[in-house]
Amino acid sequence: MDIRRKKIIKSSVLQSMERLLAEARKAHEAGNEERARRYVRMVLDLLKKHKAKLPKELRNSFCRKCGRLWIPGDTVTVTYDKKTACLRVRCACGNTKRI
Ligand SMILES: [Zn+2]
């Protein structure tokens, strides 16, 4: 596959992932948790399939373990880790991540 074709695929994958995350957010706001999680799972599948990378602000917007959207004060708690001097996010499923 030539590079130009790859680039087109990558950009369209990124676009659809952004759209899926926007939809997930909408579903979450409407109180449809199951639907939101399904969208996040689809994003994870796309990431795996195309070995794509998300921009930083999107990468840290959902849980890779349980598929929850990360909304500070709602689904995650954000704490400051003094030992490592960074922010630590704890998901409702118990998964933690350093940002
Ligand atoms: Zn989680």
- Per-residue pLDDT of 40-87, as tens digits, reads 999 999 999 998 888 888 988 999 999 999 988 888 999 998 988 999
Angle at which helix 3-29 crosses helix 33-50, to 10 degrees, equals 170
State percent of the chain over pLDDT 90.
54
pLDDT given at position 45:
94
Q: What is the mean predicted confidence (pLDDT) over 34-42? A: 94
Cα of 91 vs centre of ligand 1, distance in Å, is 5
Cα of 83 vs centre of ligand 1, distance in Å, is 23
Cα of 16 vs centre of ligand 1, distance in Å, is 22
Per-residue confidence band for 39, with pLDDT thresholds at 50, 70 and 90: very high
Cα of 69 vs centre of ligand 1, distance in Å, is 8
Phi, psi angles (nearest 5°) of residue 83: -60, -45
Q: Mean of the per-residue pLDDT values for the chain?
A: 91
pLDDT at 22 over 90: yes
Cα of 63 vs centre of ligand 1, distance in Å, is 5
pLDDT given at position 74:
84
Cα of 46 vs centre of ligand 1, distance in Å, is 19
pLDDT given at position 29:
92
Q: Which single residue is written with the structure tokens 């959207």?
A: 69
